[in-house]
Amino acid sequence: MTPLLSNYISGTWQDGTGAGTPLLDPVLGTELARVDATGLDLEAGFAFARNEGGAALRALTYAQRAALLAAAVKVLQANRDAYYEIATANSGTVKNDTAVDVDGGIFTLSTYAKLGETLGERRHMQDGEAARLGKDPLFQSQHVQVPTRGVALFINAFNFPSWGLWEKAAPALLSGVPVIVKPATATAWLTQRMVKDVVDAGIFPPGALSIVCGSSAGLMDALQPFDVMSFTGSAETAAVIRSHPAITQRSVRVNIEADSLNSAVLLPDAAPGTEAFELLIKEVAREITVKSGQKCTAIRRIFVPEAAYSATAAALSARLAKTTVGNPRNESVRMGALVNREQLSSVRQGIAHLQHQTETLFDGASVALLDADATVACCVGPTLLGTRDAQGSDSADRVHDTEVFGPVATLLPYRDAAHALALVRRGQGSLVTSLYGSDPAALAAMALELADSHGRVHVISPDVAQLHTGHGNVMPQSLHGGPGRAGGGEELGGLRALGFYHRRCAVQASTSVLQAM
C-alpha cells in the first residue's frame, strides 16, 4: 500500500477522507504515493492562517523573518539528497535538471533571507519621499507599504515542485504574509516533503506555512478581500481563476503566469561560424532539452536571418542528436521523461499540430530510449521543426499561437530586423526572449524594442559567454513574469516581489507624525 501524503492546515497534519489520487513514476509507471484533500475544513484552515500565522509573522521585523528563511534554508540543504531521489522518481528528471528545481528553490530562498537582512528592524516600508500638500511644508503626504492582513494562496504548476514553492513563499513570508500552497497533483510529493521538513523543524509560527495536496476544489471559495493568490499554469485555467467571485467580487489580488511562446533571436551580424552563432546553438539546444522542455521559460521559437537558416538547422540537429533520452537513473541519460502520460499525449498532439505548417528538421519520435520501456515511459526525444523561408514564418500561425510544453522548438527565418521584431511580437507577450550578436548598439536597440512585450530580455554576446545565467534560468534578482499571453504577472525582481504582499497607503499628517513613523 503506497503512502497517503498528509495535508498541513490549521496547524495540524490531516489526511483526506477519500481514496486519493496516485502519483506515478513517469519512467517505470509504478505508483509512488497518493494525495487527497477530501473533507478538509478549508475555511477554518484559511482563518487559522490569517489570524494565527499572519499575526505572528507581522509581530516580527523584516530582519527577524529573514532569519526564519535562513533557518529554513539550512533544513532544506540538510535533506537535499532525499529531494533528488523524490524528483527522479516522481518527475523523471536527470540530476542536472533536478538541480534547476531543487537547488534553484533553495538558492532563491537564501537570496530573500539575505535581502531581508537589509530591511532591518522594521515592520513596514516607506514608499518614496514625503510630499507637501500645500504651501506650508508642515502638512505632508507619505506613502507607506504594510503587509496585507490576509493569506497568500499559491496554486502551482507541475514542472517546478521545489522552485515554484520557494520563489513565491520566500517574498510572502519575508513580507509577513502566511502561505497556503496547493502543488500540482502529479508532482506533489517533493513540495509536500519540503514543507513537512520545514514544519517539523518548528521554524515558522503555526499557520505561517500550510499545504493542501490533491484537488483544488474550494480553495478559491475560502479567499477573502485582503488575501492574495498566485497561479502558474495554463491560460485556460487562468481564465477560470480570473472569473471566480473571489477575484471579480471580493477583489482578491491575483498574479498569473500562463502560456509563453518565448523566443531566441540571432542578429544579422552573428553569421554561422561566429562565436555569437555558436552561443545560440548551445543555448537553444539546452533550452529544448532541460527538464524535457517542461519550462515556462523554454525557447519555443528561434529566429535567424534567412541566409543562416540551413546552417542553423544543421548545427542544432547535430547537437540534439547527441542527447540521450531515457531512465534518469542511468548516468548516460541526459534527458529524462515528461511528467505523465497525459503530458506525453499532449506533446505528441502538439507536435503533429505544428507539423501541418512546418518541416521536421530533427525527429524526436525516432530517438531510441536508453534503459526505458517505450510502451511505459513518458519519454519523447527532442524535436526541431522549421519553415524554410520568411514567407513560411509569416504564414505558420500555429507556431506563433501554440505552445507545446515539451522538448520542441521551431526554427523561423526572417528578412530583416523589422521583420524579426514583428515575428517575435506575434507571441503576444512572453516571459523572456534572448538575443545573440556582437554589436552592442544593435543588441541594445533590439532589447529596448522588445522590452514592452517581455518580462525579461536576456542578451548574450561573446563577452559574457562564460558569465550569463541562461535564457531559461529565473534569477531571484530579476523580474519573472510577462505581459499579454504570458499572464500579465510579475514575480521576484529582488525586493520588488514584496510589493505584491503589501498594501500601499498614503499617510497625510504633520512632519512630526511622519517622522515618528
Active site residues: 257, 296
> CA angle, corner 112, sides to 108 and 116, nearest 5?
175
Q: Give the three cell numbers for residue 65.
A: 523573518
Q: Give the three cell numbers for residue 44.
A: 477554518
- Compute the distance between CA of residue 399 and CA of residue 390 in angstroms, rounded to an integer: 13
For the chain, the distance separating the N- and C-terminal CA atoms, rounded to the nearest angstrom, is: 58
Q: How many Cα atoms are found within 13 Å in the side-chain-facing hemisphere of 515?
A: 5
Q: Are 389 and 411 in contact (CB under 8 A)?
A: no
Sheet with 383-386, strands from edge to edge, namely 359-362, 383-386, 408-414, 299-305, 262-266, 430-436, 454-460
CB contact burial 107-126 (16+ within 10 A = b; e otherwise) = bbbbbbbebbeebeeeebbe
- Compute the distance between CA of residue 45 and CA of residue 50 in angstroms, rounded to an integer: 9
- Three-class SS of residue 7? strand
Q: Give the three cell numbers for residue 13.
A: 497534519
Q: Are 266 and 303 in contact (CB under 8 A)?
A: yes
Counted residue by residue, the chain has a size of: 517
- Backbone CA torsion sign across 449, 453, 456, 462: negative
Burial group, residue 139, by CB count within 10 angstroms (0-12, 13-18, 19+): middle
- Backbone CA torsion sign across 106, 300, 182, 95: negative
Q: Compute CA distances 51 → 59, 98, 200, 334, 433, whole Å.
A: 12, 36, 21, 47, 42
- Compute the distance between CA of residue 234 and CA of residue 219 in angstroms, rounded to an integer: 18
- Compute the distance between CA of residue 410 and CA of residue 263 in angstroms, rounded to an integer: 10
> CA angle, corner 103, sides to 409 and 492, nearest 5?
75
